[in-house]
Structure 1
Amino acid sequence: MGKKVKKENETPNKEAFEPLPFESKTPATVVLMLSSPEEEVLAKACYAIYKFAEKGEENKLSLLGLGALSPLCQLINHEDKRVRRNAFMALGIMAANVDVKNALKKLDIIPSVIDKLSPEEETVVHEFATLCLASMSVDFVCKVQISENKGLPSLIRLLSGPDPDVIKNTLETALNLVQDHPNREALCELGGVPPLLDLVRSEFPVIQQLALKTLERLTTDCDARTAFREEHGFEKLMDFLNDKDLSDLHVEALRVVSNCVADRESLLLVHQTGGLTRLIQLVLSPSSLLPEVQTNAATCIARVARSSENRKLLHEHDVERALVGLLSAEGDGVKTAACHAVATMSLHLASKDTFRELDALRVVVQLLSHGSEELRQAAVQALSSLTHNSQLNAAAVYEAAGDEVLVQMLSDGSSALVSDAAATLANMADQEPLRCRILTHGAAAALVGPLQSATTTDSLLQITRCLAALACDTHAREEFRNAGGLSPLVRLLSSHHKEVRSNACWAISVCANDELTSVELCQLGALESLQEINESVNRRNQFSEVAMLKLLAANLSVKYSLKGRLAFTDITTDGFFDAGPVRPGDTVMTLEELSKQPVNQKRPVLVANAAAELQAQRSDESLDSPTDARSSSVCSKAGSRTSKGKSRGLKEEDKQQRDGDESNDQTESAVEKPWAPACDSAFQNLVMEATKSVLTLHDLREQYVTLARLVSEALGGVVEMDRLHEFHWELHLSELKFRRRSNVIPIGSVCKGIYCHRALLFKCLADRVGVSCTLVRGEYNRAWNEVLLPGETQPGGPPRPQPCSLYVVDLMHQPGSLLRANTPAAIQYQSI
């Protein structure tokens, strides 16, 4: 028997599953299908997602929330072409959403997208891959990823492809990329300029526009302009501009041209090929009647004219005539651009004259009253440039009645408009007839508002420059002062901007020519600020020292306190006072402020005032007899301190009594009228006596000697040097302060005075009788006067002009002696 063999169980046959028709209206279900292993299901699911996302932003966000993005990013690398294509379609549509784009950036999808730009892929894949890149390339990180993954070569290759949708998406991507310099440089090196130029002649306007915009951004780089020239880009664009059928794209083309002629090398090449002539003809030709085209043409010319060499070349091509034509063209934008171009071309001196000959200034002045503030701003900017260093153009603005409108602009315009209006007025004010006309419109007062509200450096510079030009006129200074302009002007001395400080000093130096203005400037702290500026090496400027000297020249009392010296040319007037030395940086008080202080232990303030109209006391008219009026002189004529002491005492009592009466009358009148220093009748009589005794002499030396003796007699007579301690002048002055109840003492009331008092009186009398001297303050109450006398002619020698010598006048020990400067005797008189 044979062995039994066990039968194997036969496996049942597996029948194939019949295709299951499936229909879903739920996005979540479709998203689940993206995980299917079947290509057919994947393809249909991707296509369904594409159609769903195409319907709106909400659907894209819904798909993002359902998790469709991650499987789609994987499916763009699927082996099946149809799955890959449909996945790209869905992804490209969804990438337009901002939230989707941010999610894609985190998934690092760019390398995979760039990989699918290869020539082997379908056109549809290219279309939606570039669409995805166009959306993502707006982000800087994505731009870097595209560049690092060598995306530019593939994009440049696609620019020469046949499909317009691919080209459009590629151009959008390229436009985003070239916003950054590294990508512009790389695009030029990879040969991106030629295909872009070819696309300018595309049959699709959107492609033409994108190509021109990309070229516009690209040609901001020098290397790109070089490549553009090598490809004859300018000539191609000029042909494009001459095509009337493409007039809707001429604006973008002109922007590219504007970039390409901005540098000297490009402009020379354009000029050599006749392109510059064609450009200017384009501005004037009837084919460029579209306002936008004319606007960009003028803008192009303005950009070219930024270089001095280019301006000269444009002038040779009579570009001024073209621009004047645009000033009268239709459209505010055209006129505005033309004004900017005129302003730039006016930097060329010959162009200024040409514009005037073409009557451009009258046209621009008319634009100042236009309703568009932007146009008005451009017009006044053009006038500022046209009138700079051109008196003829400034006169042309005056003849066109532009001065009144410019003054109005100071109060009604923006910061930039005020700045240019002030600059133009300053240019015009260099001519006196024009300045007078400008001031009739209230220009000085109109500057106050802008000076207070100006925030930009340029506006402050121009306003202060205009003020300095207008303040040459006395009426202008008064108008500016009354309008409250001095306070904001003084505040500019504290500006952190060097040029603003310098201009403020300049304006103050001009305003200080007026005494009242100068006094108010000092009251506002200008002197202290100028002192601080001049003491600083970094803050000092060319006008700060001049401004300070001008202020001091109109305030000799302050100058003497600060500098301790008055020169021959410093002529004192009524109201001059000596308050003693003041350290730099300390505030110098006015005479009114000093008079209102309570009596203190400080040295008295001596004031010289012989002006009878300045609050002369009513009681003085009845009390002052010829004898009383000369009481200071009578008391000083004592030949000996012992023999005539009684007479001096009686006269001093009379004088003291009169001083008390003057003080009482001054107190009463102060209530009735504004404060003013009292008339010093005793000093007035000293002036009269000096006039009679000095001016009758013809010899200059005798005049000084006579005046010195008069001063010595008025202030106590001769004082021997070794008996100076017995001359009790301190007690006398203290008694005067106590009786007058004031620290301010009229110089005529003083009967005992030493060096500082006598030098002060000598200077005040000399200035009034017309003889020249200085006033110099020393230390320890020393002061002296210096005079100039011609040298002596040698006996028997021919008469010839002799050099003058400097002498110190002795008013104390040997009154009338003239001590040669720098000799031991003079040095001994000047120091202890």
Structure 2
Amino acid sequence: ITPLVALLGSSDSGVQQQAARTLLGLAAKNPANQVAIAKAGGIHALITLLDSSNASVLQQAIGALLSLAANGDVHATITKAGGIPLLVKLLESSHGDVQRQAAGVLLSLAAKNADTQLAITRAGGIPPLVRLLDSLDTGVQKWAAGALQNLAVNAANQVTVTQAGAIPPLVRLLHSPDTGVQQQAAGVLRNLAGNASNRVAIAQAGGIPSLVLLLGGSHAGVQQQVIGVLWNLAVDAANQVAIIQAGCIPLLVKLWGSPNLHVRQWAEGLLWNLASSTDDLRNQTAIIRAGGISNVVNLLDSSEDPAVQEAAAGLLLCLAVNAGNQVTIVQAGGVRPLVKLLSSADTGVQKCAAGALQNLAANIDNQFAIIHAGSIPELVRLLYSSDVEVQKRAAGTLKNLAVDAEYQVAIAHAGGIRPLVRLLESSDIGVQQQVTGALWNLAVHAVNEIAIVQSGGIPPLVRLLCSPDVHVQQRAAGTLWNLAANSDNEVAITQAGGVHRLIELLGSSDAGVQQQAAGALLSLA
């Protein structure tokens, strides 16, 4: 290697060309040789040849640098040797091979290296890379787009790339017959879409229909990048509408069956985002019409991947806000797999499954199916979770189920009262709301009244009468009203200071709080 590096300095262009060609061959996919060439001073010598007037020498030299740049350990050497300005200059070459290889070296250098990204930008690299997007050579297009994709990870570069006019040619490249070009173009747009102004510009350039069209292809790499762009674009409500109108939903639902895990996860995540939009129910309607619910339920039944399970349960959680969807989910067999997911070791899965069941249990007709799928013991177990959101959603599901006398007994028999009482001490308002609601419903049953008091429920309920949240106040007062039906409890409530605080609540501006406080005081009188 050392003699070959020395020959790069020969005054004979033929010798230089052959030495560079041999080094290129040695460096190709051989990390050890790449490091050895760098240590022997090969990078400095090759960079010197980037100024050669001999086209053959130049092509071999830049080809060798392209192979060397595959090794991240030599990037700093290329940069320190002054390679970046020369590489940027070569982007303007009249030779397509030189343009392609120069863009390829810059692509490698810009990968996950903020300093190099900045150096390429300062050297004026972005405008010529953008111009190369209009090249007739697919290799040049691909490497130029790849370099821009890496550069656009930087927020400042996202603006610079757009100002250089990149978005229209990138959208055009989405229609390239070459899947590599499509993938790289979508990758640039994905990064650019992290900027609010760029999201508008991509939509105005016709990017959304072009992106959605690619979802129907068979190339997983393209699909993954396209979903990533659409995910970022969907941050804006106007873009969500455009994405739906472009026919994205049926294609995303279809991709739930993709053999590629990453494509499935991204498709599920994007559908979840679209379904959780509270501004426009058309998103959910489109998912339903595309057969989304049956696909989600089937996926819950078949997948063992926590990320897939969380996304699927999360989508059902969003859809189950709608009463009509609640019925459809149950009819599609969604309850059993959701209950099964309550026992997952993954907190995100637990959270989404419990949340979906909470929404489904708001419909009395669904409660039988939820109970008989074995949900109560699992929900009670989740009350002991260290995750506040899991606690809240498990308690919320039990609250909804506890409107039925039979289920009130079942929850108590499963040991649900003690952890619910313990959660009255939670500092989270959402947990307090759901727990007081569950105990309010449970305390209708005489046996449960005793269990709540024996578990130490009265003192924390009295304290929650001072909560800043009117829902917590109302539900705590309602629970005490139910407990006060037992004469022994009247004394305990009074001793805990309940009467004084209930009297204070009569002055509340909330009619529900006033009603429950007055009812409790009447029982205590």
Partner Cα separation in structure 1 for residue 119 and residue 106 of structure 2: 11
Partner Cα separation in structure 2 for residue 434 and residue 385 of structure 1: 17
TM alignment of 1:176-215, pairs within 5 A: 176-215=150-189
Q: Which residue is equivalent to 1:467? A: 435
Q: State the 1:143 CA deviation.
A: 1.5
Q: State the 1:325 CA deviation.
A: 1.3
CA shift in 2, pair 1:42/1:509, >3 Å: farther
CA shift in 2, pair 1:284/1:301, >3 Å: closer
Q: Which residue is equivalent to 1:133? A: 106
CA shift in 2, pair 1:291/1:73, >3 Å: closer
Q: Is the counterpart of residue 363 in structure 1 residue 337 in structure 2?
A: no
Partner Cα separation in structure 2 for residue 205 and residue 322 of structure 1: 29
CA shift in 2, pair 1:504/1:463, >3 Å: farther
SS at match of 2:58: helix
Q: Is the counterpart of residue 57 in structure 1 residue 50 in structure 2?
A: no
Match for 2:124 among 117, 136, 150?
150
| Bigger Cα displacement from structure 2, 465-474 vs 323-332 | 465-474
TM alignment of 1:217-236, pairs within 5 A: 217-236=191-210
| Amino acid across the alignment from 1:379 | A
Q: Which residue is equivalent to 2:275? A: 305
Q: Which residue is equivalent to 1:563? A: none
| Amino acid across the alignment from 1:152 | I
Partner Cα separation in structure 2 for residue 105 and residue 475 of structure 1: 77
CA shift in 2, pair 1:477/1:66, >3 Å: farther
Partner Cα separation in structure 1 for residue 37 and residue 201 of structure 2: 45
Q: Is the counterpart of residue 353 in structure 1 residue 324 in structure 2?
A: yes
Contact 2:170–2:185 (CA under 8 A) maintained in structure 1: yes
| Amino acid across the alignment from 2:397 | T
Q: State the 1:118 CA deviation.
A: 0.1
Q: Which residue is equivalent to 2:291? A: 322
SS at match of 1:307: coil
TM alignment of 1:357-756, pairs within 5 A: 357=328, 359=330, 363-370=334-341, 373=345, 375-387=349-361, 397-398=370-371, 402-411=375-384, 416-429=389-402, 434-447=407-420, 460-472=428-440, 473=443, 476=448, 479=451
Contact 1:134–1:172 (CA under 8 A) maintained in structure 2: yes
SS at match of 1:469: helix
Q: State the 1:50 CA deviation.
A: 2.3
CA shift in 2, pair 1:486/1:91, >3 Å: farther
Contact 1:321–1:358 (CA under 8 A) maintained in structure 2: no
Q: State the 1:505 CA deviation.
A: 12
CA shift in 2, pair 1:55/1:401, >3 Å: closer
Contact 1:447–1:463 (CA under 8 A) maintained in structure 2: no
Contact 2:90–2:99 (CA under 8 A) maintained in structure 1: yes
CA shift in 2, pair 1:162/1:394, >3 Å: same
| Bigger Cα displacement from structure 2, 319-328 vs 141-150 | 319-328
Partner Cα separation in structure 2 for residue 97 and residue 194 of structure 1: 33
| Amino acid across the alignment from 1:170 | A
Contact 1:362–1:396 (CA under 8 A) maintained in structure 2: no
Identical columns (%): 21
Q: State the 1:478 CA deviation.
A: 5.6
Q: State the 1:447 CA deviation.
A: 4.4
Q: State the 1:114 CA deviation.
A: 0.7
Partner Cα separation in structure 2 for residue 68 and residue 542 of structure 1: 81
| Amino acid across the alignment from 2:326 | F
| Amino acid across the alignment from 2:436 | A
| Amino acid across the alignment from 1:406 | L
Partner Cα separation in structure 1 for residue 65 and residue 477 of structure 2: 70
TM alignment of 1:781-820, pairs within 5 A: none
Contact 1:361–1:393 (CA under 8 A) maintained in structure 2: no
Q: State the 1:134 CA deviation.
A: 1.3
Partner Cα separation in structure 1 for residue 491 and residue 13 of structure 2: 96
Q: State the 1:151 CA deviation.
A: 1.4
CA shift in 2, pair 1:542/1:124, >3 Å: farther
Partner Cα separation in structure 2 for residue 519 and residue 109 of structure 1: 85
Q: Is the counterpart of residue 101 in structure 1 residue 75 in structure 2?
A: yes
Q: State the 1:178 CA deviation.
A: 1.9
Contact 1:78–1:84 (CA under 8 A) maintained in structure 2: yes
Pick the structure with more helix per residue.
2
Contact 1:410–1:421 (CA under 8 A) maintained in structure 2: yes
CA-based RMSD: 4.6
Partner Cα separation in structure 1 for residue 55 and residue 290 of structure 2: 64
Post-superposition CA distance 1:154-184 (Å, at most 9, x none): 1122223244443333232222122233322
| Amino acid across the alignment from 2:7 | M
SS at match of 2:32: helix
Q: State the 1:56 CA deviation.
A: 1.7
Contact 2:395–2:438 (CA under 8 A) maintained in structure 1: no
Q: How many positions carry a matched residue from both structures? A: 489
TM-score, scaled to structure 1: 0.50
| Amino acid across the alignment from 1:179 | V
Q: Is the counterpart of residue 84 in structure 1 residue 58 in structure 2?
A: yes
| Amino acid across the alignment from 2:147 | T
Partner Cα separation in structure 1 for residue 353 and residue 137 of structure 2: 48
Q: Which residue is equivalent to 1:279? A: 248
